């Protein structure tokens, strides 16, 4: 069964990719989508068996992979609870994304290629989560990186798309270099890359040290931090996060599949899989906690200033990944995986819901040109409301809550219950990030679905009207929303040529624009309905298995480190700790309601008063600018130097160009000697005979 789950997507990718347009759009989509739904149907019984305690961890051998000296790697598929959780996450989201893409990509001429890439990505991700060795994990790790590159740059004719694909590839190479060094170090120390053997031997290396860069460092700390660099790159943690928001240049289904639910969680999965190694080094655990907390704070602050609907959700993904690493850093690996599990449902729902909005608005992604859409696309509205209620953690203690209410609150409580300095720091940051999460999530809802329509200012909508009616509509609207309707008011609107001192003329433009948003086609709505159910019930159903002390210990046995003491302490924290997440959630909602519904002048006034802070957040803490001047500019300068001075000035000058010039000069001299006169040739012959005679006499 596990072999079919893993290799069906690969087979579908090969058939659709090689068949391409010869197969046609419909056949290619049927093959790939059918294979993914088959894998999904086979994955859920595996997961349910582990829930019921009827299944045990086992390994299914495939073939002998590498035999080189002491290095022996068998290609085998490991199945345990951790694998089962990831199987249902990957196959469920991927199959729904395949179905969703039937509607979203209906007009794209390269559908077979797109669906082949989706299936290839799914296969690589399945290889990663079923790996029994670090080499096999690295194979899947690089496979999802390749598929991500192909999917982000799928619309390669767009400059922004292929630049985003290159950026993702380069930044991930930095993280993957650290990951590969960690694998090398692990093999050097343990003499094997087999994950079970490494985890069994890891506790024996506590307090061991090794020489590194001229100093003695803790062995397990060094190995874990090198491995964690790989996790930082793949999971877009602070410092190696810059690729993720730009990756939104790919089609929206790609964003939902790769950059919200599956690939970006590979780093969290890796840390949880290798949790016995990280448990040996408290320093590594603290680093994971602090990096996760810093990422959650950074991404949440930046998310409050974005106008692109997909970028808001992208920074939300960064922030939620920070929560997962915070949980892993304090030892609550079950809570980290629980949030990974629930996050897959509600974040995929939000991305696909955003895609439905974009589809309805003729590919307009700027929320400043939305407004009042709940009346036009009600099903999408209810789906995104469910996703928002889930990510903000709405619920009532002891009664019922949406998915995030259980998983995110568990992380906050575990951080407090850990009793460490890093845990206390993570708790404070997690609560503040929850406030920001609630604010930017409800801000997205209010700007998109409430208020007056602000569509006439959209260039995309104007093009749609032009295409539909054969002529354009020239509106001289001073503003498409109130001056204060968005906290980026002035600069962002100025960039679009709008006057921010207007007071909401958008309400008069709906009829004038001649464009009416419409609900998405049926294939796009089915995944929204299914994911909505997950966003509502996933936390309530599976909380006992992931984070309850008794059930959790049995559920996670042999898969990851499950600290029963911490889990019990998590449920016994003071009431104010339990209520903190709910209090800040309500606070964030009220602030967003006040600023974007009740008094829409508030954001502009706030922006004007705190211009420096606003610019800092709008420019994403200036990371892109910093990296541009630290790495990109010197790299281009160095490239130009070697090109001009090295290649052209040295190699070409003394190499092919120099040789060619020498041949030309020699030919010129030789040509001058060919006069055509007999006495000239006779003179040359006499000189030659004289030289030969002289050489013979002297010699």
Model confidence at 475, pLDDT cuts 50, 70, 90, reads very low
Position with higher pLDDT, 193 vs 510: 193
Lowest mean pLDDT among 189-203, 376-390, 509-523, 563-577: 509-523
Spell out where 612-690 has E strands. Answer: none
**121, 144 Cβ separation under 8 angstroms:** yes
Four-point Cα dihedral 661, 664, 669, 672, nearest 10: -150
% of residues, the chain, pLDDT over 70: 92
pLDDT computed for residue 141 by the predictor: 95
Mean pLDDT score, 334-348: 95
SS3 635: helix
Lowest mean pLDDT among 66-70, 202-206, 367-371, 544-548: 66-70
Model confidence at 260, pLDDT cuts 50, 70, 90, reads low
Model confidence at 482, pLDDT cuts 50, 70, 90, reads very low
Model confidence at 506, pLDDT cuts 50, 70, 90, reads very low
Q: If you search the block for the tokens 């590159």, which residue do you land on? A: 149
**What is the average pLDDT value for the chain, to the nearest integer?**
88
Print the SS3 string covering 277-333.
HHHHCHHHHHHHHHHHHHHHHHHHHHHCCCCEHHHHHHHHHHHHHHHHHHHHHCCCH
**10, 18 Cβ separation under 8 angstroms:** no
pLDDT computed for residue 398 by the predictor: 83
SS3 520: coil
Q: Which long-range contacts (CB under 8 A, 24 or more apart) does 166-172 make?
A: 167/242, 167/243, 167/246, 168/243, 168/244, 168/246, 168/247, 169/145, 170/243, 171/233, 171/240, 171/242, 171/243, 172/145, 172/148, 172/233, 172/234, 172/240, 172/243
d(CA 49, CA 87): 13
Cα of 221 vs its chain's centroid, Å: 26
**339, 318 Cβ separation under 8 angstroms:** no
Position with higher pLDDT, 126 vs 489: 126
Tell which residue, 674, 653, 649, has the closest CA to residue 662.
653
The answer, yes or no, to whether residue 301 has pLDDT greater than 60, is yes
The answer, yes or no, to whether residue 468 has pLDDT greater than 80, is no
**339, 407 Cβ separation under 8 angstroms:** yes
pLDDT computed for residue 501 by the predictor: 30
pLDDT computed for residue 510 by the predictor: 44
Lowest mean pLDDT among 16-20, 40-44, 395-399, 488-492: 488-492
Sequence-ordered list of residues with C-beta below 8 angstroms from that of 298, at least 6 positions apart, any chain: 238, 241, 318, 319, 322, 621
Q: What is the DSSP string of 528-576?
A: HHHHHHHHHHHHHHHHHHHH-HHHHHHHSTTTS---HHHHHHHHTS-HH
Mean pLDDT score, 368-376: 91
Distances (CA, A) of 1 to 4, 46, 129, 339: 5, 9, 15, 27
pLDDT computed for residue 486 by the predictor: 40
Mean pLDDT score, 567-593: 95
Per-residue pLDDT tens over the stretch 148-168: 999 999 998 888 898 999 999
Mean pLDDT score, 471-477: 36
Tell which residue, 346, 348, 354, has the closest CA to residue 386.
346
Mean pLDDT score, 562-584: 93
pLDDT computed for residue 282 by the predictor: 95
Sequence-ordered list of residues with C-beta below 8 angstroms from that of 466, at least 6 positions apart, any chain: 472, 473
The answer, yes or no, to whether residue 387 has pLDDT greater than 70, is yes
DSSP class of residue 458? -
Tokens of 642: 């070697």
Tokens of 18: 């090689």
pLDDT computed for residue 509 by the predictor: 41
Position with higher pLDDT, 531 vs 506: 531
CB neighbours of residue 581 within 10 Å: 26
Lowest mean pLDDT among 78-87, 440-449, 467-476, 627-636: 467-476
- What's the alpha-carbon Rg for the chain, to the nearest Å? 30
Per-residue pLDDT tens over the stretch 643-680: 888 787 788 777 777 778 788 888 887 777 777 777 77
Q: What is the DSSP string of 12-33?
A: HHHHHHHHHHHH-HHHHHHHHH
The answer, yes or no, to whether residue 549 has pLDDT greater than 90, is no
Model confidence at 111, pLDDT cuts 50, 70, 90, reads very high
* Partners of 395 in the β-ladder: 401
Distances (CA, A) of 649 to 646, 654, 657, 659: 5, 8, 10, 14
Tokens of 326: 């915070």
pLDDT computed for residue 466 by the predictor: 65
The answer, yes or no, to whether residue 488 has pLDDT greater than 60, is no
SS3 84: helix
The answer, yes or no, to whether residue 274 has pLDDT greater than 70, is yes
Quote the pTM value: 0.88
Highest mean predicted confidence (pLDDT) among 246-250, 480-484, 511-515, 617-621? 617-621
d(CA 499, CA 477): 8
Lowest mean pLDDT among 387-391, 412-416, 655-659: 655-659
The answer, yes or no, to whether residue 512 has pLDDT greater than 70, is no
pLDDT computed for residue 76 by the predictor: 93
pLDDT computed for residue 492 by the predictor: 39
Model confidence at 491, pLDDT cuts 50, 70, 90, reads very low
CB neighbours of residue 343 within 10 Å: 30
SS3 344: helix
d(CA 142, CA 124): 8
Sequence-ordered list of residues with C-beta below 8 angstroms from that of 236, at least 6 positions apart, any chain: 243, 244, 264, 295, 317, 318, 321
**310, 351 Cβ separation under 8 angstroms:** yes
Mean pLDDT score, 227-245: 92
d(CA 542, CA 163): 40
Mean pLDDT score, 247-253: 89
């Amino acid at each position: 069964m596990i072999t079919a789950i893993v290799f069906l997507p690969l087979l579908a990718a090969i058939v659709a990719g090689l068949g391409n347009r010869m197969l046609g759009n419909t056949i290619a989509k049927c093959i790939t989508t059918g294979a993914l739904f088959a894998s999904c149907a086979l994955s859920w019984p595996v997961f349910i068996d582990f829930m019921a305690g009827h299944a045990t961890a086992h390994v299914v051998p495939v073939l002998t992979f590498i035999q080189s000296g002491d290095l022996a790697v068998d290609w085998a598929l490991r199945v345990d609870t951790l694998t089962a959780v990831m199987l249902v996450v990957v196959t469920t989201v991927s199959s729904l994304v395949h179905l969703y893409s039937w509607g979203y990509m209906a007009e794209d001429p390269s559908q077979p290629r797109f669906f082949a890439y989706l299936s290839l990505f799914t296969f690589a991700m399945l290889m990663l989560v079923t790996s029994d060795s670090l080499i096999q994990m690295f194979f899947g790790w690089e496979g999802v990186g390749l598929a991500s590159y192909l999917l982000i740059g799928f619309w390669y004719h767009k400059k922004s798309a292929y630049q985003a694909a290159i950026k993702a590839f380069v930044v991930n190479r930095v993280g993957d270099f650290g990951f590969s060094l960690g694998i090398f170090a692990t093999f050097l120390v343990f003499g094997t890359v087999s994950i079970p053997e490494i985890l069994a031997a890891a506790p024996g290396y506590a307090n061991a040290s090794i020489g590194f860069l001229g100093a003695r460092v803790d062995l397990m700390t060094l190995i874990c931090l090198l491995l964690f660099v790989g996790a930082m790159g793949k999971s877009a943690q602070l410092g190696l996060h810059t690729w993720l928001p730009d990756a939104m240049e790919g089609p929206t289904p790609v964003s939902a599949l790769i950059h919200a639910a599956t690939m970006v969680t590979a780093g969290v999965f890796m840390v949880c899989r290798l949790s016995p190694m990280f448990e040996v080094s408290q320093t590594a655990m603290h680093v994971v906690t602090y990096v996760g907390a810093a990422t959650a704070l950074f991404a949440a602050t930046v998310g409050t200033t974005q106008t692109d609907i997909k970028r808001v959700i992208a920074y939300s993904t960064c922030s939620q990944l920070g929560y997962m690493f915070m949980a892993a850093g304090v030892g609550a690996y079950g809570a980290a995986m629980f949030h990974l599990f629930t996050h897959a449902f509600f974040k995929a729902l939000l991305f696909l819901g955003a895609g439905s909005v974009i589809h309805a608005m003729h590919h307009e992604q700027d929320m400043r040109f939305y407004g009042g859409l709940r009346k036009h696309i009600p099903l999408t509205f209810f789906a995104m409301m469910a996703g928002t209620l889930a990510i903000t953690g709405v619920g009532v203690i002891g009664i019922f809550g949406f998915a995030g209410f259980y998983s995110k609150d568990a992380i906050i409580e575990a951080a407090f219950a850990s009793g460490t300095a890093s845990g206390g720091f993570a708790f404070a940051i997690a609560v503040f990030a929850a406030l920001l999460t609630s604010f930017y999530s409800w801000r997205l809802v209010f700007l998109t679905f409430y208020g007056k329509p602000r569509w006439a200012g959209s260039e995309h909508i104007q093009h749609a009207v032009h295409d539909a009616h054969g002529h354009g509509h020239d509106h001289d609207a001073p503003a498409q929303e109130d001056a204060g309707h968005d906290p980026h008011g002035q600069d962002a609107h100025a960039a679009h040529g709008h006057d921010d001192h207007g007071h909401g003329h958008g309400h008069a433009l709906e009829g004038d624009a001649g464009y009416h948003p419409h609900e998405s086609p049926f294939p796009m709505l089915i995944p929204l309905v299914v994911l909505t159910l997950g966003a509502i019930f996933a936390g309530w159903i599976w909380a006992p298995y992931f984070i309850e002390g008794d059930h959790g210990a049995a559920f996670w046995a042999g898969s990851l480190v499950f600290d029963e003491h911490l889990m019990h302490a998590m449920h016994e924290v003071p009431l104010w700790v339990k209520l903190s997440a709910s209090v800040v959630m309500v606070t964030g909602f009220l602030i967003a309601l006040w600023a974007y519904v009740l008094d829409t002048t508030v954001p502009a006034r706030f922006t004007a008063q705190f211009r420096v802070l606003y610019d800092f957040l709008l420019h994403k803490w200036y990371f892109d600018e910093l990296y541009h001047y630290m790495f990109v500019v010197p790299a281009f300068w160095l490239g130009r130097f070697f090109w001009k001075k090295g290649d052209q000035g040295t190699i070409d000058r003394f190499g092919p160009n120099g040789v060619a010039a020498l041949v030309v000069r020699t030919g010129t001299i030789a040509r001058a000697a060919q006069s055509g006169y007999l006495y000239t040739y006779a003179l040359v012959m006499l000189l030659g005979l004289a030289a030969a005679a002289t050489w013979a006499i002297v010699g």
